[in-house]
């Protein structure tokens, strides 16, 4: 098969525009569906797979099965077929970023739970139809302009128990996201998808995948043999309950994972309701989330038992005497300490002073001084904090000779501007502020980033910048599109003005027509279409030119009628003729037949009249 290129028409219907993705199995093109006038994504199978008859048979069967998945969180499949020696799938085009673009650097636990829920809803729907995806990853989760997660590539998924698109012994999927059983070439089940969704949740919470390596084989080996770090060990903001959910989904043994998507969803609901910072004694309960998605909720009381309560009362009485004895000993110790303890003095306030002067003041009051340099917008060497808090600012007194720690400004920190592309404005602002920057915003149009999401920053992500400087977040205003006005029937100049007022540019093309000169006959794109602001619209206007009809030989009345109908003004002259067949018939036309003229131009016809009869008188 020749390499497809822009303008190629697939299956006499889909005109390729540009390549928007490429993977191990296929290339993905943005295309125009010429029959339904819509944008679609076309996945064209690579040649090496197209030559495998068994693979192609399963590919077609599974694409047919996936075409039945009509769900809000699934990218719909419209069509499939053969093309130039290979095969293709036509699917819904989602104009938005992938989840991979959003998880760079991690996202908030709330957003991570929300997107994971939507992916689980899609997986649950597919699993109930007997379809296992087998290659779930953030790159296959697209975010539409409503912020909704849409799972793609169900067209190459596994339909039923007898389908398995892979050569014997090979592995289908992406190494960082496949389950341990996939890495070992074992059969896949819905719990294999549960593991992959667990990896997506892990990456959303931490900004990284559980396992990385120098090669796909090295990563696959880690999937089988190594335990991942808990998400909270990488991102302390991850609550223990959500930690437990992610680790349950990443269990090596499929039977130890959530039994299905419903159980996973149930566990997410419980984790979202759990406190962000539970008591230490609650940790085990949260870690004990089961494959059914259930966990022991801490704080539930045991039923009351009279016998146990009597036994507890007897124990309390025995301990009461022991406590009284200990209290007596404690009182004696406190008296001894009061007689020997060091004196307490007020802690002076040195915040805002130069470190040298602050040290001198504290030393004069009998305190030791420890200095800790911290990045700050305050002048260099200025004290910005102290511990203990000064007595005048609400702090207590401190022991004479104890240490006061001074936080001294080392000037603004120089840090890399974090990448916030694809995040909501709130999340982007939070990430930048955590890095120490002040944030401003500016809105811009974008054809790729959904409205309200961050396009980029100024300065760009990765720039080493002082935290005293301001970072501007460029926020998407959405696509800058306008509706094409209808200009058919207008004068060409009025039509061009209407297009300009709509934010478009017009191109004038003239066509011969009997319509009045300059009248717009048609336009492309048509009225009501949404196009990018500044796009060109072609209008076709009448030249007003008409052609002189051939009326030679016609009767006078018929010729006059034909000329009027063609748009001309007829003029009639008479011409004598000796030919009886030309009498009352058109002998000549000027301008001649086939000439071009304007509506209302005069065309002169000559109509034959008989010559006068000559009479000869005989001589007597």
Same domain, 376 and 511: no
- Write out 325-371 in H/E/C secondary structure: HHHHHHHHHHHHHHHHCCCEECCCCCCCCEHHHHHHHHHHCCCEEEE
Same domain, 530 and 553: no
Of 88-97, 321-330, 332-341, the poorest mean pLDDT is in 332-341
320: helix, strand or coil: helix
Same domain, 276 and 358: no
Q: What is the pTM of this model?
A: 0.48
Is 70 exceeded by the pLDDT of residue 493? yes
Residue 317 lies inside a defined structural domain of this protein = yes
Rounded Cα distance between 137 and 103, Å, is 11
For the segment 60-119, what is each residue's pLDDT rounded down to a tens digit?
A: 766 776 777 889 999 988 888 888 888 888 999 998 899 998 887 568 899 999 999 999
- pLDDT at residue number 301: 36
- pLDDT at residue number 30: 95
Same domain, 350 and 247: no
CA nearest neighbour of 75 among 183, 153, 190:
153
Rounded Cα distance between 126 and 130, Å, is 6
* The last residue of a domain, from among 74, 92, 110: 92
Residue 380's DSSP bridge partners are none
Q: What is the dihedral of CA 165, 171, 176, 177, to 10 degrees?
A: 40
Same domain, 181 and 228: yes
Range of the domain at 321: 312-341
- pLDDT at residue number 294: 62
* The last residue of a domain, from among 495, 528, 543: 543
For the segment 177-217, what is each residue's pLDDT rounded down to a tens digit?
A: 999 998 888 889 999 999 999 999 999 999 999 999 888 88
Same domain, 251 and 169: yes
- First-to-last CA distance in the chain? 106
For the segment 360-397, what is each residue's pLDDT rounded down to a tens digit?
A: 999 888 899 998 887 777 788 899 888 888 888 777 78
Q: What is the CATH number of the domain that holds 230?
A: 1.10.510.10
Same domain, 126 and 263: yes
Same domain, 147 and 86: no
Rounded Cα distance between 374 and 315, Å, is 54
Residue 591 lies inside a defined structural domain of this protein = yes
Left if phi > 0, otherwise alpha if psi is -120 to 50, otherwise beta: which for 585? beta
Residue 619 lies inside a defined structural domain of this protein = no
* The last residue of a domain, from among 92, 113, 146: 92
Rounded Cα distance between 413 and 254, Å, is 47
Is 50 exceeded by the pLDDT of residue 168? no
Same domain, 176 and 255: yes
Q: Catalytic residues, which ones?
A: 135
Residue entry with tokens 């301001």: 470
Contact by Cβ (8 Å): 482, 500: no
Same domain, 470 and 600: no
Q: What is the CATH number of the domain that holds 60?
A: 3.30.200.20
Residue 2 lies inside a defined structural domain of this protein = no
Is 80 exceeded by the pLDDT of residue 552? yes
pLDDT band at 142; cut points 50, 70, 90: very high
pLDDT band at 614; cut points 50, 70, 90: very low
Q: What is the dihedral of CA 318, 323, 326, 331, to 10 degrees?
A: -150
Q: Give the mean model confidence (pLDDT) for residues 352-365.
A: 91
Q: What is the CATH number of the domain that holds 500?
A: 3.30.10.20
CA nearest neighbour of 86 among 26, 34, 167, 28:
26
Number of domains into which the chain is organized: 7
Contact by Cβ (8 Å): 134, 172: yes
pLDDT band at 309; cut points 50, 70, 90: very low
Same domain, 16 and 129: no
Residue 76 lies inside a defined structural domain of this protein = yes
Phi, psi at residue 520, to the nearest 5°?
Answer: -75, 125
For the segment 4-17, what is each residue's pLDDT rounded down to a tens digit?
A: 889 999 999 999 99
Same domain, 572 and 427: no
Residue 295 lies inside a defined structural domain of this protein = no
């Amino acid at each position: 098969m020749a390499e497809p290129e822009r303008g190629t028409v697939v299956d006499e219907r889909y005109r390729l525009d540009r390549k928007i993705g490429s993977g191990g199995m296929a290339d993905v093109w943005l295309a125009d569906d010429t029959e339904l006038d819509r944008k679609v994504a076309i996945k064209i199978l690579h040649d090496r797979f197209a030559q495998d008859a068994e693979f192609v048979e399963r590919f077609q069967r599974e694409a047919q099965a996936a075409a039945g998945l009509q769900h809000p969180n699934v990218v719909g499949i419209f069509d499939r077929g053969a093309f130039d020696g290979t095969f293709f799938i036509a699917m819904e085009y989602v104009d938005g970023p992938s989840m991979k673009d959003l998880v760079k650097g991690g996202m908030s636990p709330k957003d991570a739970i929300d997107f994971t829920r939507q992916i689980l809803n899609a997986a649950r729907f597919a699993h109930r139809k007997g379809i296992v995806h087998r290659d779930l990853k953030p790159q296959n989760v697209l975010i539409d302009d409503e912020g909704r997660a849409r799972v793609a590539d169900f067209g190459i998924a596994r339909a039923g128990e007898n389908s398995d698109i892979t050569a014997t012994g090979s592995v289908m999927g992406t190494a960082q996201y496949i389950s341990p059983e996939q890495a070992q070439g074992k059969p896949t089940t819905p719990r294999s998808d549960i593991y992959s969704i667990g990896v997506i949740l892990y990456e959303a919470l931490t900004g990284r995948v559980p396992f990385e390596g120098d090669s796909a084989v090295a990563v696959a080996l880690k999937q089988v043999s190594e335990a991942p770090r808990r998400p909270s060990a990488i991102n302390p903001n991850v609550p223990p309950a959500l930690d437990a959910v992610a680790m349950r989904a990443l269990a090596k043994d499929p039977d130890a994972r959530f039994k299905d998507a419903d159980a996973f969803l149930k566990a997410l609901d419980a984790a979202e309701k759990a406190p962000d910072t539970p008591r230490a004694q609650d940790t085990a309960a949260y870690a004990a989330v089961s494959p059914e998605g259930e966990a022991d909720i801490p704080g539930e009381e045991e039923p009351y038992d009279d016998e146990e309560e009597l036994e507890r009362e007897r124990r309390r009485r025995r301990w009461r005497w022991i406590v009284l004895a200990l209290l007596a000993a404690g009182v004696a110790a406190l008296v001894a300490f009061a007689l020997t303890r060091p004196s307490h003095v007020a802690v002076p306030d040195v915040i805002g002073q130069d470190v040298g002067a602050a040290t001198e003041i504290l030393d004069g009051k009998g305190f030791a001084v420890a200095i800790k340099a911290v990045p700050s917008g305050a002048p260099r060497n200025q004290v910005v904090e102290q511990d203990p808090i000064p007595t005048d600012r609400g702090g207590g007194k401190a022991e004479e000779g104890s240490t006061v720690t001074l936080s001294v400004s080392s000037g603004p920190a120089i840090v890399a501007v974090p990448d916030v592309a694809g995040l909501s404005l709130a999340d982007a602002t939070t990430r930048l502020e955590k890095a120490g920057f002040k944030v401003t915003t500016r809105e811009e149009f974008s054809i790729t980033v959904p409205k309200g999401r961050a396009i980029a920053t100024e300065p760009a992500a990765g720039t080493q910048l002082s935290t005293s400087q301001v970072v501007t977040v460029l926020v998407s205003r959405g696509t800058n599109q306008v509706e094409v006005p209808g200009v058919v029937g207008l004068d060409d100049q009025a039509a061009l003005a209407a297009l300009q007022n709509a934010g478009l540019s017009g191109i004038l093309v003239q066509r011969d027509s009997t319509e009045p000169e300059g009248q717009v006959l048609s336009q492309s794109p048509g009225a009501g279409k949404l196009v990018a602001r500044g796009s060109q619209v072609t209008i076709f206007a009448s030249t007003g030119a008409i052609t002189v009809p051939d009326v030679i030989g016609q009767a006078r009345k018929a010729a006059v009628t034909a000329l009027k109908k063609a748009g001309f003004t007829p003029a009639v002259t008479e011409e004598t003729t000796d030919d009886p067949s030309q009498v009352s018939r058109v002998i000549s036309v000027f301008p001649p037949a086939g000439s071009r003229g304007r509506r209302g131009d005069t065309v002169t016809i000559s109509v034959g009249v008989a010559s006068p009869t000559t009479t000869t008188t005989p001589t007597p």
